[in-house]
């Protein structure tokens, strides 16, 4: 049995059914870093920068994990559109195994070589030590993150997006409470500072994992869904899987590596600049998280339409989702411009850091609508047909041909201040958007998996 969406339901209601739970879950997941940053902000600039850099490296793992989840979403949604329960089960199990393998590799690297990794980000010994300590503990959360990511993808494709949301709600409440208790040493617990923030995240992620597994088992039993793999994996199936997976892995790894190069640029400009950029991360994460539901909805809805061979409907739905994303991003950008000066006052840092953080937030507000369109096109729409090599080349050209060279030039050759550096390297988003629009309008991305 494979559950499908009600085709008679108005489009916007179908979008909301998927997008709202995913958005709320993304915001709750983002709250982990927001709460960490706000509470760690009371410990000084070095702690803020250290947590930011430790989290930046862990983002390499989360981005690659997101790539595996994206492949799972493409395959599961298309096979649901084809009403092929056996292939749905095969896709789920295959991607879960891959995610767990990736998690174990990330745990090994982060726990065995945290100091060496953080040396690439900053030469400040104090900041580097804090970042390494944070990363070593945070690595224990990587395995539950893998399980939650793939299982949540399956549940969303089966119209059960509320279950992962409930797990995230419980996890976010626990994370906030544990942050307060462990960072500052309340009710007799030791004052652990940065280590307490990392430990709170680990405990909360394992809690979310157990709850999500419980919901998944309950949902499948209630709806008599059996996720059994039918037959052995054929060579043709493996080749199709790799044609989808490899470009996404390469794309997301190179994009995330580029983001880490950006972080290294900020870190080498100076600790104050790095701290100011770190202050903007919660706002950036919240905004993209708030609109990530549209990207997930795009991947699922358009994937099902393509799987069913309804190409005209897929193209129409994609255009509608892009309009929704533009309206939402403009509203959020206006809000960021209004509240930026009040937001930075939450942190107990130097006046210079406050001023720079406000400037960076204004720059982000200007570029954010383009970033959201890229998230919808590259992260949801174009990928839904399985032609992931298109997105790989778009991201590679944007990040490595434009973004990284411009960042290095503006920081170390032209020696500009960080707000100008950030604005100049962010122009790569405009390059990516232009290329994505060309690919979108040519419609060559619109494919069923059977035709790959």
Could you read off the pLDDT tens digit of each residue along the chain, which spans 452 residues?
A: 444 444 456 776 778 777 778 777 777 666 656 666 677 767 777 777 777 777 777 877 888 898 888 888 888 888 888 877 778 888 888 889 999 999 999 999 988 888 888 887 777 778 888 888 888 999 999 999 999 999 989 988 887 878 888 888 888 889 888 888 988 888 878 778 888 888 888 999 999 999 999 988 888 777 666 666 555 667 777 788 888 888 888 887 787 788 778 878 887 887 788 888 888 887 887 788 778 878 878 888 888 888 878 888 889 889 999 999 999 999 999 999 998 888 888 887 788 888 899 999 999 999 999 999 999 998 889 988 888 889 889 989 998 999 899 999 998 889 898 899 999 989 999 999 999 999 999 988 888 776 65
Does pTM surpass 0.85?
A: no
Q: To 5 degrees, how large is the angle CA 373–CA 168–CA 51?
A: 75
- Whether 79 contacts 102, CB under 8 Å: no
Q: To 5 degrees, how large is the angle CA 98–CA 99–CA 102?
A: 90
- Whether 132 contacts 119, CB under 8 Å: no
Number of Cβ within 10 Å of residue 19's Cβ equals: 25
In a domain? residue 62? yes
- 147 by DSSP, 3-state: which? helix
In a domain? residue 369? yes
- Whether 241 contacts 79, CB under 8 Å: no
In a domain? residue 421? yes
In a domain? residue 6? no
In a domain? residue 9? no
Domain range for 266 is 14-451
Number of Cβ within 10 Å of residue 107's Cβ equals: 16
* Cα distance between residue 411 and residue 351, in whole Å: 22
Alpha carbon 303 to its chain centroid, in Å, reads 20
| Neighbouring residues of 56: CB distance < 8 A, sequence distance ≥ 6 | 121, 259, 260, 263
In a domain? residue 5? no
Q: Based on the structure, what is the number of domains in the chain?
A: 1
In a domain? residue 152? yes
Please say whether the dihedral angle defined by the alpha carbons of residues 241, 243, 249 and 252, taken in this order, is positive or negative.
negative
Phi, psi at 11, each rounded to 5°: -60, -45
In a domain? residue 246? yes
- 320 by DSSP, 3-state: which? helix
- 452 by DSSP, 3-state: which? coil
């Amino acid at each position: 049995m494979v559950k499908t969406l009600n085709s008679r339901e108005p489009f916007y209601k179908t979008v909301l059914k998927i997008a709202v739970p995913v958005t709320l879950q993304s915001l709750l997941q983002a709250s982990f870093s927001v709460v960490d940053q706000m509470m760690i902000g009371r410990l000084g600039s070095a702690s803020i920068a250290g947590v930011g850099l430790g989290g930046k490296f862990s983002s390499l793992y989360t981005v690659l994990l997101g790539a595996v989840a994206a492949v799972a979403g493409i395959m599961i949604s298309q096979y649901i559109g084809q009403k092929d329960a056996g292939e749905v089960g095969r896709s789920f199990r295959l991607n879960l195994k891959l995610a767990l393998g990736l998690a174990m590799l990330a745990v090994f690297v982060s726990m065995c070589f945290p100091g060496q990794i953080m040396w690439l980000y900053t030469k400040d010994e104090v900041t580097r030590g804090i970042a390494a300590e944070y990363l070593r503990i945070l690595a224990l959360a990587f395995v539950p993150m893998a399980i939650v990511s793939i299982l949540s993808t399956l549940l969303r494709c089966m119209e059960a997006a509320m279950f992962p949301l409930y797990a995230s709600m419980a996890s976010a409440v626990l994370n906030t409470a544990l942050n307060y208790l462990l960072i500052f040493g309340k009710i007799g617990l030791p004052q652990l500072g940065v280590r307490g923030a990392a430990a709170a995240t680990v405990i909360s992620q394992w809690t979310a994992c157990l709850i999500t597994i419980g919901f998944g088992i309950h949902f499948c039993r209630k709806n008599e869904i059996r996720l059994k793999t039918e037959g052995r994996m054929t060579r043709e199936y493996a080749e199709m899987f790799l044609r989808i997976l490899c470009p996404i892995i390469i794309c997301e790894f190179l994009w995330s590596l580029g983001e880490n190069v950006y972080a290294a640029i900020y870190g080498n400009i100076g600790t104050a600049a790095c701290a100011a950029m770190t202050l903007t991360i919660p706002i950036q994460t919240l905004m993209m998280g708030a609109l990530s539901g549209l990207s997930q909805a795009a991947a699922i809805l358009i994937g099902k339409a393509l799987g069913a061979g309804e190409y005209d409907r897929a193209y129409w739905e994609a255009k509608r989702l892009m309009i929704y994303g533009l309206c939402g991003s403009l509203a959020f950008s206006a809000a960021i411009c209004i509240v930026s000066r009040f937001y930075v006052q939450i942190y107990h840092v130097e006046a210079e850091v406050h001023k720079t953080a406000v400037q960076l937030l204004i720059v982000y507000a200007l570029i954010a609508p383009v970033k959201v369109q890229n998230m919808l096109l590259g992260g949801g729409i174009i990928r839904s047909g399985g032609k992931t090599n298109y997105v790989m080349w778009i991201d590679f050209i944007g990040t490595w041909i434009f973004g990284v060279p411009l960042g290095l030039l503006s920081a170390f050759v032209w020696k500009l201040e960080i707000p100008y550096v950030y604005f100049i390297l962010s122009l790569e988003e405009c390059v990516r958007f232009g290329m994505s629009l060309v690919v979108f309008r040519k419609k060559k991305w619109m494919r069923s998996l059977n035709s790959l």
